[in-house]
Amino acid sequence: MVLCPVIGKLLHKRVVLASASPRRQEILSNAPLLRVPCGGAGESHHQQPSLLSTSWVGCHDFIDLSAFGKPLTLCSCNPSVPDAEVARLMCDRDSSPSGLDPSPAAGLSQQVRLPLQPQGSGLRFEVVPSRFKETLSKAAFPSPFAYAMETAKQKALEKDLRTPDVVIGADTIVAVEGQVLEKPVDKQDAYDMLSRLSGKEHSVFTGVAIVSCTCTEHVLDTQVSEFYEETRVKFSELSEDLLWDYIHSGEPMDKAGGYGIQALGGMLVEYVRGDFLNVVGFPLNRFCKKLAELYCPPSGQDVRRAHHDSIPAVDSFETLRDQDGGGPQPAPSDVGPGAGPASTGSLRGLSEADGDPPAPGSSEAGCNGQAERQSPFPAGLLDLIDGFKASKALFTACKLRLFDVLRDGAHRSAADVACQVDAGVCGTRRLLDVCVGLGLLQRTAQGYSNTELADRYLVSDGECSLHSFVVHSNDHTWPLFSRLEQAVREGPRQHRGASWEEAGDPSQDCRQDKPMEATHSLATLTARRLASAFDLTRFPSACQLGGCTGALPWALALESPRLKVTVFDCPEVLQQVSRLQPQGGRTALVSLVPGDPCRDALPAADLYILPRLPPEWPDDRVHQLLRRVAASCRPGGGLLLAEVALDEGQGAARRGLRHRLDLLVRTPGRDWSLGECGRLLAQHGFPDVRVAPVGDIPGAVLGIRAGP
């Protein structure tokens, strides 16, 4: 047995695993025994016998596939478990210590445990299940893997024992067509999930956070390294009988996505692209590469990538030094016969978090001989190319009011829906099926019905409805973006169409550029999160300059009951704001005062709010408005800049980055980042600046007025 040098680095450290997952614990505890599986662990693409791959020889049970009527392919790259021994254990059930029932039915629920490594010879760690409640809003993250990485980090950072040296947190999720599938709440929910996966490829993302802890002078310092791994899994077309047989087994009920590939759920899988152990719950290959980067960084000279017996290829194994002290000096591993050159880059989803995946076209040794590696499948890129079709399907469904027909749990056939919306049955059925695939509808034997997401946001008269915004995007935004190439070539002002209006005051965008109701539906959604971005209890009163739709003032009144809010804008805008004003409750604390924020005296207030800095304004006009606010704001008062669309750097939210294109095709001008807004406030007498990025929606900046 060759101990993985990177794992050896941790043997003298106190390692805590912030996870109660038994599969995750088993993968890590048996890490040193793992060998390179057929075709490479990082890029495996195998049919159903993958359940008997090497990944399971070192750390998991074999499942007897002969019970499924499939040919049995046995493969062992672990010298401690010869193939003959595997075959004997799999076939000689009567003499096995487990005493398995030899009937085929028993093969579906019983497993054969292979001889594993001696107890304690793997990575030693303590299991401290995290108390972190997984209540993060998925809507706040630009992608499923970002959600998984943040959840893993929070799990790792939440701990209550004595300070460890290393904490490992992980979270695995299933995502299909951009939607995260949780654990099913009941059998019908499990049926809906598995029906969505039937015949399709989906992604399994695992986010991993490695927290290194040091304590200096009783002060805890933590350094977090995080990454994610994506594996693509293809389900076969599943019959109703097979689905319900699997659901009645009880296995889907505690599994994200409704299946477990390491057990009975493996019979649903047609193939796997990527790390098989990632689907089980932990990407061991990528984890060891990350450990190599953290504890054994390569020297200045070029380091050759090699393939080792005990763990898949990891850079710098040949030049490892015991830099941490106290750990054993590992012996270099033999280079496998299929070692390939180093690589640079890979497409996983839309981007790679970090790491150095193998080069397409390289080859490496498998347990059955030489196996050529396949290029990574660019699933995320293909989804991006086809993304406009999904948008258009949503737009069309809203234009036809499909979600209104299927509201409140109504189940209808495609023919019924077609009759209601005055459309053809064939086309309606196809559109309904696409909406099922997008996670907007669900399909059962009774017919089609809305998901909770559609009932909440896509029904035209719902409290949180985005229906008018979707229709506006179809009727106005879609035609503008169809001319994006021309706008890029000629510039925004040359490309300006007849529907665009000249720049004006802060409410100009709401009055002229977008229908008020469409703007209000989106503003209502984002205002609730902006209103809670800061603690505003120190301010008894607030005045918003420029009413726009009034969504933010009413959200502030609901969030801060003692805050009296004034909306200051010209009469025609206030008339629209009043029409959209919710009735009763705390919103009675919102007052509408007519006036021009750029010319008239500003109402007295402890907090002034600018719903946005108009992108079409020149800089001198922005400074003029800020000087007016600073002159009216007393010391200790505040100025809140809301809906700051862009963050700085490569970590900017995707939606904020797309806003730059809005400025190109819609309203020419500049965009203001959170950092730039903070500097603006400091320049105008608000030196105490607080910034609140709000996930994937526009952020906010709060400045506190300095004393005289």
Averaged confidence pLDDT in the chain: 69
Q: From the CA atom positions of the chain, what is the Rg in Å?
A: 29
Which of these three, 419, 435, 465, is where a domain ends?
465
For residue 60, pLDDT over 50 is answered with no
Q: Is residue 169 part of a domain?
A: yes
Which of these three, 440, 465, 490, is where a domain ends?
465
- How sure is the predictor about 285, in pLDDT bands with cuts at 50, 70 and 90? confident
Report the SS3 class of residue 688.
Answer: strand
Q: What is the mean pLDDT of residues 552-569?
A: 85
Q: Is residue 269 part of a domain?
A: yes
For residue 486, pLDDT over 80 is answered with yes
* pLDDT tens column, 397-406: 999 999 999 9
- How sure is the predictor about 611, in pLDDT bands with cuts at 50, 70 and 90? confident
Instruction: Check residues 103 and 656 and name the one with the higher pLDDT.
Output: 656
Quick one: 448 and 531 in the same domain? no
Quick one: 600 and 674 in the same domain? yes
- How sure is the predictor about 483, in pLDDT bands with cuts at 50, 70 and 90? confident
Number of domains in the chain: 3
Domain span at 454: 386-465
Q: Is residue 90 part of a domain?
A: yes
Quick one: 541 and 414 in the same domain? no
Quick one: 135 and 86 in the same domain? yes
Q: How many helices (H) and strands (E) does the chain have?
A: 26, 19
Active-site residues, by number, are 171
* pLDDT tens column, 515-541: 667 777 777 777 777 787 788 888 999
* pLDDT tens column, 154-171: 766 655 444 677 888 888
Of 139-148, 237-246, 497-506, 686-695, the one with minimum mean pLDDT is 497-506
For residue 502, pLDDT over 50 is answered with no
Residue 57 confidence (pLDDT): 33
For residue 603, pLDDT over 80 is answered with yes
Q: Is residue 180 part of a domain?
A: yes
Tell me the C-alpha distance between 440 and 450, whole Å: 6
* pLDDT tens column, 565-595: 889 988 888 887 777 766 554 556 788 889 8
Quick one: 231 and 137 in the same domain? yes
Q: Is residue 318 part of a domain?
A: no
Instruction: Check residues 124 and 351 and name the one with the higher pLDDT.
Output: 124
Tell me the C-alpha distance between 197 and 174, whole Å: 10
Quick one: 449 and 554 in the same domain? no
Quick one: 428 and 511 in the same domain? no
- Residue 212's alpha-carbon distances to 167, 176, 400, in angstroms, are 7, 33, 54
Quick one: 569 and 647 in the same domain? yes
Q: Which amino acid is at 280?
A: V
**3-state SS record for 214-240:** EEECCEEEEEEEEEEEEEEEEECCCCH
* pLDDT tens column, 303-356: 333 333 333 333 333 333 333 333 333 333 333 333 333 333 333 334 333 444
| Both tokens assigned to 373 | 């590696």
Which of these three, 274, 290, 306, is where a domain ends?
290
Residue 391 confidence (pLDDT): 93
Percent of the chain at pLDDT > 90 equals: 17
Residue 338 confidence (pLDDT): 35
β-pair partners for 17: 127, 168
* pLDDT tens column, 368-405: 444 455 677 787 788 888 889 999 999 999 999 999 99
| Both tokens assigned to 77 | 């790259």
Residue 604 confidence (pLDDT): 92
For residue 133, pLDDT over 70 is answered with no
Burial 196-225 (b: 16+ CB within 10 A, else e): bbeeebbbbbbbbbbbbbeeeeeeeeeeee
Enter the pTM of the model. Answer: 0.48
- Residue 602's alpha-carbon distances to 323, 454, 531, 606, 610, in angstroms, are 64, 42, 22, 12, 13
CATH number at residue 621: 3.40.50.150
For residue 21, pLDDT over 70 is answered with yes
For residue 173, pLDDT over 80 is answered with yes
Question: Whose structure tokens read 């995320």?
Answer: 380
Residue whose C-alpha is closest to residue 267's, from 66, 437, 87: 66
Quick one: 553 and 691 in the same domain? yes
For residue 458, pLDDT over 90 is answered with yes
Q: How does strand 541-545 pair with strand 607-610? A: parallel
- Residue 432's alpha-carbon distances to 151, 339, 418, 428, 472, in angstroms, are 33, 49, 10, 6, 21
Quick one: 429 and 572 in the same domain? no
CATH number at residue 157: 3.90.950.10
Of 413-427, 428-442, 464-478, 632-646, the one with minimum mean pLDDT is 632-646
- Residue 216's alpha-carbon distances to 16, 82, 409, 491, in angstroms, are 20, 50, 58, 55
Q: Is residue 141 part of a domain?
A: yes
Q: Is residue 241 part of a domain?
A: yes
- How sure is the predictor about 512, in pLDDT bands with cuts at 50, 70 and 90? very low
Residue 220 confidence (pLDDT): 64
Report the SS3 class of residue 32.
Answer: helix
Residue whose C-alpha is closest to residue 135's, from 149, 127, 143, 147: 147
For residue 668, pLDDT over 70 is answered with no
Quick one: 409 and 274 in the same domain? no
- How sure is the predictor about 44, in pLDDT bands with cuts at 50, 70 and 90? very low
List, as one string, the DSSP characters of 644-682: E-B-SSTT--HHHHHHHHHHHHTS-S---BHHHHHHHHH
Quick one: 82 and 169 in the same domain? yes
Q: Is residue 359 part of a domain?
A: no
Residue 282 confidence (pLDDT): 87
| Both tokens assigned to 136 | 């993060």
